[in-house]
Amino acid sequence: MSTVPSLRLYNTLTRTKADFRPIDPAQVRMYVCGPTVYDYAHIGNARPIIVFDVLYRLLRHIYGVGRVKYVRNITDVDDKINERAAERGISIRQLTEQTNAIFQSDVTALGALPPDVQPRATEHIAEMITIIEKLIAGGHAYVADGHALFSVPSMADYGRLSRRPLDEMIAGARVDVAPYKKGDMDFVLWKPSKDEEPGWESPWGRGRPGWHIECSAMSWKHLGETFDIHGGGIDLVFPHHENEIAQSRCAFDHPVMANVWMHNGFLQVEGEKMSKSLGNFVTINELLETENFGGRKWPGQVLRLSMLRTHYRQPIDWTVRSLNEAEATLDDWAALAKGVKPGTPSEAFIEALADDLNTSLALTELHRLARAGEANTLAASLQVLGIDLEAYQPRTQHLAAELDEELIAARIRERIEARKNKEWKRSDEIRDELVAMGLQLMDGKDPATGEMVTTWEIKR
Ligand code: AMP
Ligand code: ZN
């Protein structure tokens, strides 16, 4: 460690960017909300994984590898899990084990380091019960009809993170009307389970936790009552993070739960959030393992770089074009750095990252290094972004192994046919499809017959 750059982070709690001061520089503590393991994760879910992995690597670079503790949980108790297991006719445990195994292999392929701890909600029921008991004892929660509920009016500054107008929060909370609620905004900490539902014994009868209490319990167990950084996607600000804060602060009587709250923006498709419910999603797994998208498999490193081109708080409109561009860049860099030993990362690059993870500026510096032929600095800098050029397989190698030449020839014949029939839209669609597969088409004429001929090559 030569010079320690001063790290500045944008904090959703204060809506400002400020110097980061860890509570204990010998152990910087970060918690990120992890997946609910009931189905494949989509590439929108990959965004917080990648963003907070880069932050984790940067913190390790600045403070030292053994001095950062990163906790990302696994939510393995949730009503969506129960429903999906029933639909598939498998046990809850089978479903959560299978889904978690896929998630782990997906995020490894994206180049994410394993967090220091990946706690499971079902292994922290005792901590959840302890927190709920503290809340009840302190007058912040009550029991009604087998449920334990957080009493929102008991917390004077509830809502500081999301800063939503009160009427909007009430309207949001009313979606979930229940006769046992004393206040409109009160939320569930614990709910009763029917015999066929998963449940644990508690002072309030057999039941299961609400979602928010899980993260309060796991962060407390592994990081303490207060810690440095809490992260997740922007959709978690309200109600999830607001309610985590309410629970943890009121249970442990602290003015903060985490000092810095960080949120990534959405990955979007045609201006809309990618989500399971809208059905506009691409799973990480199908991008890596199938040819459903753009007619080919994509390396995880390409997805990672394409996401890092945009600052983490901005929305990303996700396209195959951005994958193609990221891949072309990686190919150039890999060719440049072939056989080169990584040196030390560039200072300008680290400074850009230290300015609230300005990855787009950091990439500008990497392009400069590449132009200047500084291959060992480039390779070392990329390692801080989680990209290992040595392990990267360039497109031509990767694609040549994947392409189905017969299919391409058939599509080219169809396109020529379409053009003969003046079906221009159809012919453009076929061309776009082939381009998305990474091909470049060259149209010409057969000198003998005058007929149109199209040849192709892998685009570089
Ligand atoms: P979920 O499974 O919906 O709880 O999401 C898991 C994580 O992915 C959370 O941090 C979400 O905020 C995040 N997330 C979900 N959808 C998107 C998206 N389209 N873009 C970016 N982050 C997302
Ligand atoms: Zn959480």
Angle at 338 between CA 333 and CA 343, to 5 degrees: 80
pLDDT-derived band at 360 (thresholds 50, 70, 90) equals: very high
User: Within 10 Å of residue 380's Cβ, how many Cβ atoms?
Assistant: 20
Ligand nearest to the CA of 280: 1
State mean pLDDT over 321-347: 95
State mean pLDDT over 268-284: 93
The predicted pLDDT at position 3 comes to 52
- Residue 214 Cα to ligand 2 midpoint, Å, equals 7
The predicted pLDDT at position 1 comes to 44
- Where in the chain are the domains? 18-264, 267-398, 403-458
**Is 266 near ligand 1, meaning CB less than 6 Å away?**
yes
The predicted pLDDT at position 438 comes to 78
The predicted pLDDT at position 2 comes to 46
Give CA–CA dist 327/36, Å, rounded.
30
pLDDT-derived band at 387 (thresholds 50, 70, 90) equals: very high
The predicted pLDDT at position 371 comes to 97
For residue 229, list its beta bridge partners: 30, 260
- Mean pLDDT of the residues in the chain: 94
The predicted pLDDT at position 296 comes to 85
State mean pLDDT over 218-232: 98
**Is 267 near ligand 1, meaning CB less than 6 Å away?**
yes
Q: What confidence tens digit (pLDDT) does each residue in 175-206 have? A: 777 888 999 999 999 999 999 999 999 999 99
pLDDT-derived band at 104 (thresholds 50, 70, 90) equals: very high
Going by the DSSP 8-state scheme, the letter that residue 6 receives in this structure is P
The predicted pLDDT at position 398 comes to 67
Q: Is the pLDDT of residue 31 over 70?
A: yes
Torsion of CA 377, 382, 387, 391, to 10 degrees: -10
**Is 454 near ligand 1, meaning CB less than 6 Å away?**
no
The predicted pLDDT at position 176 comes to 72
pLDDT-derived band at 233 (thresholds 50, 70, 90) equals: very high
Q: What confidence tens digit (pLDDT) does each residue in 87-101 have? A: 999 999 999 999 999
Give CA–CA dist 41/276, Å, rounded.
9
Q: Provide the percentage of residues in the chain whose pLDDT is more than 90.
A: 83
**Is 306 near ligand 1, meaning CB less than 6 Å away?**
no
- What residues are neighbours of ligand 2 (ion), with CB under 5 Å? 33, 215
**Is 377 near ligand 1, meaning CB less than 6 Å away?**
no
What DSSP letter does each residue of 378-425 carry, written as one string? HHHHHHHTT--GGG---HHHHHHHH--HHHHHHHHHHHHHHHHTT-HH
Ligand nearest to the CA of 99: 1
Token pair of 243 as six digits: 């309610």
Give CA–CA dist 233/130, Å, rounded.
28
State mean pLDDT over 396-402: 68
Alpha carbon nearest to ligand 1 atom 21, residue: 266
Q: Is the pLDDT of residue 302 over 80?
A: yes
Q: From the alpha carbon of 233, which atom of ligand 1 is closest?
A: 12
State mean pLDDT over 130-139: 98
**In degrees rounded to 5, what are phi and psi of residue 328?**
-60, -40
Give CA–CA dist 350/381, Å, rounded.
8
Superfamily of domain 18-264: HUPs (3.40.50.620)
Burial of 217 from C-beta contacts in 10 A (0-12 / 13-18 / 19+): buried
**Is 345 near ligand 1, meaning CB less than 6 Å away?**
no
State mean pLDDT over 107-120: 98
The pTM assigned to this predicted structure is: 0.88
